Structure 1
């Protein structure tokens, strides 16, 4: 599988997956939700939500479902973002050990 992406001038562009916590933070702020109340709504402590925002805690499949339900986006989207991020991190790790 070829994972290379090129711009219009033929130069390779590095594509990086963003931790879904960063996107979740943007979404919560755009909707002007109160972070503490959102954490309670999805059944986690506010501190754990902050760790997700910082990319220091992952979004499990079960949590992805809760986030999707709370935001009306569907959980699969959040789970797929986490999977893409995890895969990219594994690729980076593999490249560093070669």
Structure 2
């Protein structure tokens, strides 16, 4: 299972002085805590892979160089794929006026 690993804590961006918005308000589920994705997926069988790790996430601290390299490659692919994903979604929207917005 692939899951968004943007934030370790809901208030990570605020704590780091990088923003004033919580992760939940931006649509992200934090990794830690009782309401976090680690707890939520503890009974899911199989491999779990976090993608889209924010550079402020402490999970990345102390990583081996190849792990950081994999993160960079993943981040590039993720950013590259957003326009294609958006275009695929918008092509299925039936309302022409909404497609143009």
Is TM more than 0.5 here? no
Identify the structure with the greater helix proportion: 1
Shorter chain as normaliser: what TM range? 0.3 to 0.5
Q: TM-score, normalised by structure 1?
A: 0.36
